[in-house]
Amino acid sequence: MEEALRTPASTRKWTLLVVEDETLIRSMVSDYLRDADFTVIEAKNADEAITVISSSTPVDLVFTDVDMPGDMDGLMLASWIHRYDPNVPVIVTSGVAELRDDYRGMRVLQKPYSPRVLERKIRELLGDSARSPR
């Protein structure tokens, strides 16, 4: 696995929600992001993600796959998140759908992707945010 980029020890951890139905992919990405000093919450589908976001658990960024089982795919989840809390950035990923970056206000990362590239994109989005970690 690639080595995570290092962050200053004084930086408060950001909380990320990783939504991916493929257990191995979700685990690999989540482990990498934890090693990169993020707090990571995992969800296997949009329903689980909505439960987390609707709770009192702070979520600073959502990373979601597009193609997931259930009534809601990743694009519909991203739209729901934008309506629920437009301050939470969303990165969507797909190996099937050809989406351009900033698709409907969402950042896009095409599969296959490097965890290090994902980390950089996350840090870029959170670093540009006017909000501080909750």
- CATH number, domain with residue 29: 3.40.50.2300
Average pLDDT on 105-134 reads: 80
pLDDT reported for residue 7: 47
User: Which residue matches tokens 């993020």?
Assistant: 38
In a domain, 8, yes or no: no
pLDDT reported for residue 62: 98
pLDDT reported for residue 132: 43
More confident residue, 56 or 106: 56
Cβ atoms of 64 and 79 within 8 Å: the answer is no
Cβ atoms of 43 and 18 within 8 Å: the answer is yes
Instruction: Write out the residue range of the structural domain in which residue 99 sits.
Output: 15-127
pLDDT bin (cut points 50, 70, 90) of residue 34 is very high
Q: What is the pTM of this model?
A: 0.84
pLDDT reported for residue 103: 56
d(CA 131, CA 88): 10
Total domain count, the chain: 1
In a domain, 1, yes or no: no
- At 54, give phi and psi (nearest 5°): -80, -15
In a domain, 96, yes or no: yes
pLDDT reported for residue 10: 43
d(CA 103, CA 76): 12
In a domain, 53, yes or no: yes
